[in-house]
Amino acid sequence: MRRDKIAVLVPEMEGKIRILLFWLVVMSAPAFSQQAPKIVSSADTASIRIGEQIRWTVAVEVDSAAQVIFPEGQTFSPLETVEAFMTDTTRKNDRLLLQKTYALTQFDSGGYILPTQRIEIDGKGFFTDSILVMVATVPVDTVNQKMYDIKPMMEVQASRWGWLKWVALGLLAVLLAGGAYYWFFLRKKPLSEEEAEALLPPYERAMKELKRLEQSRYLIQDEFKQYYTELTSIVRGYLEEEVHISALESTTGQLLEKIELLRDAGKLDLEDNTLRQFQNILETADLVKFAKSKPELRKAEEDRNKVEEIVQKTKEAIPEPTEEELLQQEEYRMAVAEQQRKRKIRFALGAAAGLLVVALVSAIGYFGFQTVKDYLIGNPSKNLLEGEWVSSSYGYPPVILETPEVLYRKEIELPPEAMGTIQDLDAFAYDDHRANLSIAAVSTVFTKTDEAPDYEGAVDQILAGFERNGARNIITKQEEFTTVSGIPGTKVFGRGNFKIPDSDEFLKGKYAILLFGGNGFMQQVVISWEEDDLYAEEIVDRILNTIEVKTVI
């Protein structure tokens, strides 16, 4: 009976065990699907010469959701980081392959250990392998070359475009100013008929308007209202200008009363008959304008003739102005003339300013803002580039180059430890703080004629000098350099943050060190300039294309 129960329980337990194992496999499947990160590092070479670069690459294979942080900055010491390239990303199913490449260099010979680098993946650190890098010195080729005499000084014809440009601009400015002054002040503008008539004296203008009224077609077309309105306006306007009474705004009675007051005061000598004729004409005009009266054609013509006589007699009746009145009139005319003159000057200045704005905007649109700014305000580097250059030989062995300005001799005091190895040292330099440009040429003769020049030590001294003057973050590269005549040399160049003299500010700059020499001597050309100065770049290129040296003593 007990054996039967055991036989029944065994199959049941086996089924439960299978189910338990199945769930264990299912639950553990995600854990097995997540693979550990793979990190592989390699270098393209393990042996370089001084100044050459080694490319070190690290490859990381991780899940697509992983966060990877590569090393940054100068973490490869004693090797120097020249450049860190962009990360290359490749996807493989649900995995990512990340590759990061660094350019490294070293300027001292010897064996150096590239230290392990920490790669951070999802907050955890993983380390690469270390590599031994050998840095060898650069062999110097000391092939004997022919000696050449120093070239004599050559007379170069000076460029005349510099002062001709300013003369042309000055003449253009004078012509524009003279043309504007003539156009606005001296030129006699043709006047229209209305403007010419407005400038006539009141009496002549009134007589001319009466003649024009006589030739009008008002009476032929029975337009008596317009006829008398214009007739009275002519005589009222004349009285207001010539006699200086408010005639246009006065009624007939008020106007006659003002004329009588002037006559009683002795300022207007008119006869009674003339006043009565004027009164009759004004009353007829009022009847025509307000009562729609229609006089005879003959009477209308006679009224115009009488108004002409009244105007003439009024002119004769006005007494001669006193000296005080003439002076007041002269002051008034002068004030009016001054206002007109100021108005013309303001208009001329506004037109000139508008012309300058249009010319400036057009020049900026065509040449560019920086070019126009440098042309108008001036640029020290541009002035050096476009000025007269000097070609000369400096030191012994000679360094021949063409520069914007002549290099001046610099007295350099040698340290005691160098006096035993250096026989002679000639240094020449030119510094322009406005253009942030520095040029130097140095020739050194050693006491041992069979001693090869130490380029590495010379570069270290120059870079140390940069640092003593406050330079920071100096990056250095090296390549071969050949003069136009085929003489080989070494070029060390790069960029950094250079301190502005007598200031706490820094600017981004570049430098180039040219090294030549042979047994017993060495020649150096050192140039530094502002990084974003396009004119300085052209200056440096021109200098480098004119360098010539002697390779033997």
**pLDDT tens by residue, 392-442:** 888 888 888 888 888 888 877 777 766 677 878 888 988 887 778 888 888
Q: Are 77 and 116 in contact (CB under 8 A)?
A: no
**pLDDT tens by residue, 236-293:** 888 888 888 888 888 888 888 888 888 888 778 788 888 888 889 988 898 988 888 8
Q: Which two tokens stand for residue 344?
A: 């013309």
Residue 102 has pLDDT above 90, yes or no: yes
Residue 101 has pLDDT above 90, yes or no: yes
Q: Are 130 and 115 in contact (CB under 8 A)?
A: yes
Write the single-letter amino acid at 501: P
Confidence tier at 78 by pLDDT (50, 70, 90): confident
Q: Which fold has domain 380-549?
A: Protein Transport Mog1p; Chain A (3.40.1000)
Architecture of domain 38-136: Sandwich (2.60)
Nearest partner of 119 among 75, 152, 174, judged by Cα: 75
Spell out the residues 6+ positions from residue 103 whose beta carbon is closer than 8 angstroms to its own: 53, 54, 55, 81, 82, 83, 84, 85
pLDDT at 395 (0 to 100): 82
Confidence tier at 29 by pLDDT (50, 70, 90): very low
**pLDDT tens by residue, 537-552:** 888 888 888 888 876 6
Average pLDDT, the chain: 79
**pLDDT tens by residue, 187-209:** 666 667 777 777 788 888 888 99
For residues 504-511, give the mean pLDDT. Answer: 84
**Higher local confidence (pLDDT), 133 or 419:** 133
Angle separating helix axes 369-376 and 323-367, nearest 10 degrees: 130
**Higher local confidence (pLDDT), 479 or 200:** 479
**pLDDT tens by residue, 362-388:** 666 666 666 666 666 667 888 888 888
Spell out the residues 6+ positions from residue 420 whose beta carbon is closer than 8 angstroms to its own: 447
Rounded CA-CA distance 202/511 in Å is: 84
Q: Are 445 and 520 in contact (CB under 8 A)?
A: yes
pLDDT at 58 (0 to 100): 93
Give 270's DSSP letter. -
**Higher local confidence (pLDDT), 157 or 256:** 256
**pLDDT tens by residue, 297-323:** 888 899 889 889 888 888 888 776 666
Domain regions of the chain by residue span: 38-136, 193-317, 320-378, 380-549
**Strand arrangement, sheet containing 110-114:** 47-49, 131-136, 110-114
Residue 13 has pLDDT above 60, yes or no: no
**pLDDT tens by residue, 446-469:** 887 777 888 888 888 888 888 888
pLDDT at 452 (0 to 100): 80
Rounded CA-CA distance 307/313 in Å is: 10
Confidence tier at 59 by pLDDT (50, 70, 90): very high
Same fold, 38-136 and 193-317: no
pLDDT at 2 (0 to 100): 39
Rounded CA-CA distance 467/203 in Å is: 93
Distance of CA 104 to the CA centre of its chain: 38
Q: Which two tokens stand for residue 389?
A: 């250059």
Confidence tier at 103 by pLDDT (50, 70, 90): very high
Write the single-letter amino acid at 529: W
Sign of the C-alpha dihedral, residues 442, 447, 451, 457? negative
What 352-358 contacts at long range (C-beta under 8 Å, 24+ apart), as own/partner pairs, is 352/176, 352/177, 352/180, 355/176
Confidence tier at 56 by pLDDT (50, 70, 90): very high
pLDDT at 319 (0 to 100): 72
How far, CA to CA in Å, does 541 sit from each of 122, 402, 403, 512?
Answer: 49, 11, 11, 11
pLDDT at 247 (0 to 100): 84
Confidence tier at 60 by pLDDT (50, 70, 90): very high
CATH code at 193-317: 1.20.120
Rounded CA-CA distance 268/258 in Å is: 11
Q: Are 243 and 260 in contact (CB under 8 A)?
A: no
